[in-house]
Amino acid sequence: MAKKKVSKRWMQDHVNDPYVKLAQQHGYRARAAYKLLELLDAEALPLAGSVVVDLGAAPGSWSQVVRHRLLDAGGVLNGQIIALDRLPMDPIPDVTFIQGDFRDDDVLSQLEEQLGGDRVDLVISDMAPNLTGIKVADVAAMSHLHDLVLEFARNHLKPDGVLITKAFQGGGFTQVLEQFRQHFRRVVVRKPKASRDRSTETFLIARQWKDD
C-alpha cells in the first residue's frame, strides 16, 4: 500500500511539475535539461567551440541543451558533442552517440577515434547508481561512480576543462567533495531550482585539473 501511495504521489508531482511542462513545450526529452541550463548559466560557462562529452546521456536532454548552446547564428554547430550510455538513445542532430560502458576498451577506442587526438573541454554526467535504500551500500555505489568519473576526467579533460557531475547530500558527501578538491583547483556545489525540493541531489562543478 505504501509503495502504491508513493507511486501515486510521484505521478501527481510529475504531471503538475512546471519543468515537465517546460520540457514538453521546448522539445527536451526530460526535465533534467533545466538542471544543466541553470548550472551553465550560474557558472557562465562559454561553450562555443567546445568539445563536450556527455556520460550516461540517455535519454539525451543534456546533450540537447549542449547542442542548442553550440549552435551559431546560422544554425551550424560550433563544437563537438559525444554522448555515451549503456542504454540506447534516439538520435539527436549533431550528436555522436556511442552505446556501451565508458569503462570498456572498445567504447573508449570509439571515443578516441571521434576525438581525433583532442582532449575535452567539458565533461557532463547526470549519472546515478541504482539506489537500494541501504545507506552503506548506496554511499559505496555513489563513491565508486565518482571514482570512475574522475578517472575519465583525468584521462580526457583538458587541464583547464570543466567537469559537471551529480552527487547526493548526506552520508559520504563530505568525503566526495574533498576527493574532488584534491583533484581540481575550484569546486562549486550547486543545487538547481529544477532539482526537486525533497531530493538530496546536488551537482559538483569542478574546474582546472591539478597536476598529479
Phi, psi of 174, rounded to the nearest 5 degrees = -60, -40
Three cell numbers, residue 31: 526535465
Q: Give CA–CA dist 162/52, Å, rounded.
A: 10
Q: Are the C-beta atoms of 164 and 191 separated by less than 8 Å? A: no
The CA–CA distances, whole Å, from 184 to 12, 51, 62, 150 equal 40, 19, 23, 10
Cα(first)–Cα(last) distance of the chain, in Å? 52
| Three-state SS at 1 | coil
Peptide bond into 59 cis (omega under 30): yes
Per annotation, catalytic residue among 3, 21, 158, 166: 166
Would you tell me how many other CB atoms lie within 10 Å of the CB of residue 26?
Answer: 12
Q: Is 166 a catalytic residue?
A: yes
Extended strands (E) in 169-200? 184-190
DSSP 118: P
DSSP string for residues in 44-75: T---TT-EEEEET-TT-HHHHHHHHHHB-TTS
Q: Which residues are catalytically annotated? A: 166
